[in-house]
Structure 1
């Protein structure tokens, strides 16, 4: 266990620059998402409000299928991971990684921003307990997969003339294993979203 922690810490230290870049892109997406809430037209805002209020009204009477939520969460996050992984693998398309990270930040910023703006403290508490728990794991995992993709693509570009076939396949194997490792955390986040967050949602909505 200590060996794994040391290797992970070393990995993050070596790729600190990439982590900074992708974290900055994510934060930019969150800010853009939260700002775009104020740009909604009144009909758009009212439509969203009606949808959320309908959800709050009915959630207490609906039996949430935790396994369905779990599978949907895992599938959605693994799709994102696959897009990032392929973008890094194809090398020239690695800028797609930046777009995906920005978009994830935008969605998060918009969702939380809308809840906070329209529902105040209650919306903040709802976002804190229903959205934050799984994203504490999802966001670092997605960023780490993005970092792995950027590192792989940049390394291949820098060494394309002197990299031997054996060296490439060794790096490719390391790339795939690293991504599988971070995907494990996406599955863990799916368990939280499927089996823990719904409990918080039902608890909170009774007070909203």
Structure 2
């Protein structure tokens, strides 16, 4: 299982750069979207965040951490979609769109927190968004590169070169790497489920004071 991971990390550098830049573009775009919100949307967002932080600070019903399988299921669904798009070949643009959207989601989330609470919002983002995503994002990007590489390999051999070679070995390598990333995501989901909410509870009192 480690062999395909080493092979991907070593031989797919241009794809990693391309996918990484695409993800970063999504982050920047998501952050800029915050400034495009209307005044009414900003007020609604401010009320929602204020109620959320008060609820976390007071231990209210509005703050209900997700269960392990909810967290893991979300990550695995995202990973599974990337895997399926890689198999379909025609889903190649969809893989790139998913990476961009992942960046947009993170950029928008952090942008909202910083826009509403400045350095306190950044601190909250560092404990609630950053820790698990330091593992989740690389795992998804590795899977995306593997999916793009698999699709390009099929296109090159079947469409451009008109070869009918055996694809079982590339498929097993691709699937093995995806399963390895699934194991990584399941492991980090435990951190996101049980550690992240505690870290959030440590930081929210200083934010909640400004929302009362």
Alpha-carbon distance between aligned partners in 2 of 1:182 and 1:203, rounded to the nearest angstrom: 30
**What is aligned with 1:105?**
103
Residue deviations 1:139-174 (CA, integer Å, cap 9, x gap):
00110110010000001111112232xx21121111
Q: Cα 1:52–1:132, aligned 2, differ >3 Å: closer, same or farther?
A: same
Bigger CA drift: 104-113 or 172-181? 172-181
- Contact 1:69–1:193 (8 Å) recurs in 2: no
Alpha-carbon distance between aligned partners in 2 of 1:69 and 1:107, rounded to the nearest angstrom: 21
Determine helix, strand or coil for the equivalent of 2:164. Answer: coil
CA RMSD of aligned residues (A): 1.7
TM-score (norm: length of structure 2): 0.90
**What is aligned with 2:163?**
162
Determine helix, strand or coil for the equivalent of 2:104. Answer: helix
Bigger CA drift: 168-177 or 93-102? 168-177
- Contact 1:29–1:103 (8 Å) recurs in 2: yes
**What is aligned with 2:13?**
16
Superposition pairs of residues 145-156 of structure 1, within 5 angstroms: 145-156=143-154
Shift of the alpha carbon at 1:69? Answer: 3.2
Q: Cα 1:157–1:7, aligned 2, differ >3 Å: closer, same or farther?
A: closer
1:27 aligns with 2:24: yes
**What is aligned with 1:171?**
170
5+ residue gaps, structure 2, are: 208-212
Shift of the alpha carbon at 1:49? Answer: 1.0
- Contact 2:4–2:177 (8 Å) recurs in 1: no
5+ residue gaps, structure 1, are: none
Residue deviations 1:180-206 (CA, integer Å, cap 9, x gap):
001111112211110110011100001
Alpha-carbon distance between aligned partners in 2 of 1:153 and 1:22, rounded to the nearest angstrom: 15
Alpha-carbon distance between aligned partners in 2 of 1:202 and 1:175, rounded to the nearest angstrom: 40
1:37 aligns with 2:34: yes
Alpha-carbon distance between aligned partners in 1 of 2:151 and 2:102, rounded to the nearest angstrom: 21
Alpha-carbon distance between aligned partners in 2 of 1:119 and 1:52, rounded to the nearest angstrom: 10
**What is aligned with 2:210?**
none
Shift of the alpha carbon at 1:10? Answer: 4.0
How many residue pairs get aligned? The number is 202
- Contact 1:33–1:105 (8 Å) recurs in 2: yes
Bigger CA drift: 53-62 or 23-32? 53-62
Q: Cα 1:177–1:8, aligned 2, differ >3 Å: closer, same or farther?
A: closer
